[in-house]
Homo-oligomer: A and B are copies of this chain.
Amino acid sequence: MDEMPGKVYLVGAGPGAPDLLTLRAAEILKRADVVFHDALVHPQTLELAARAKKIAVGKRSGRHSTAQKFINKRLVDAARGHKIVVRLKGGDPLLFGRAQEEIDALRKAGVDFEIVPGVTAATAAAAELGLSLTRRGLARHVAFVTPRAAEGERENDWAASVLSADTAVIYMGAGLAEAISAELIKRGKPKDTPLVLVESATLPERRVLHGTLADLPELARRTGEGPAVVLLGEVLKAALAEPAAAAKEIEALFKRA
């Protein structure tokens, strides 16, 4: 028998807390030979891959994007020398995870692969707020967008999606807060649209900042280096109405941890 070709698993690590990983992802990590992981994957999640060589590939929020081709190549190479190769990404790999570039590279190289979906930051952030993103009679469409355009990308009219959605979740937007707020207000989104910025959702260091669309630049200035999602729409009004209560609930939640 010749060289056994390996398989690459593109795995969602979930929004942050290590116990928001799926059972399937945990099983695959236990069997993994090599794990290529994002910088923000939790150390406890990596510990599950006890047998594996762990390689940080260091992408954060679209930075270091020139490294993508290099990551693609490393995945293909690893599958030639190992049976179980894991590419572990924060959140869900199929929502703003740039998985498609890796999928295309694996397909092109004839490498077998499988995708394991994960919990995405949007619903994890909403869970911490105690709020549904959809609400009967009030919110039946949710838009997940990112205003972050990549080099050479065609025009990205993220704002149109936000304007037509009842609830919108903006990924990787904290660094573009001024532009996001200005663009949406210019195009008719009310300044007082309820908005919540959640940084490091589901982690002990998470921050929840309440305000309105007009406040977004100020809220973003108060955040740190953690990954952040911005939620806006009428369903967030409940979070604004009782930020103190929401904060208390979140605190209680973390006493467990």
Contacts and interface: CB of A to CB of B under 8 A. Distances in A.
A131 B143 CA distance: 19
A94 B134 contact: yes
Contacts of A113: 130
Given A24-B17, A127-B116, A141 B145 contact: yes
A165 B161 contact: yes
A158 B141 contact: yes
B140 A158 contact: yes
| Interface bin, chain A | 35 or more
Copy number of this protein in the oligomer? Answer: 2
Interface string A100-133: 1101000100001111111110011011101111
A21 interface: yes
A143 B165 contact: yes
Nearest to A250: B114
A169 B95 CA distance: 12
A100 B135 contact: yes
A117 B119 contact: yes
Contacts of A6: none
A22 interface: yes
A26 interface: yes
B103 A132 contact: yes
The 10 residue pairs across chains A and B that have the minimum distance between CB atoms: A115-B127, A141-B161, A100-B132, A19-B24, A160-B164, A117-B123, A141-B145, A19-B23, A99-B132, A100-B135
Interface of A: 12, 14-15, 17-24, 26-27, 92-101, 103, 107, 112-120, 123-124, 126-128, 130-138, 140-146, 149-150, 152-154, 156-158, 160-161, 163-165, 235, 252-253
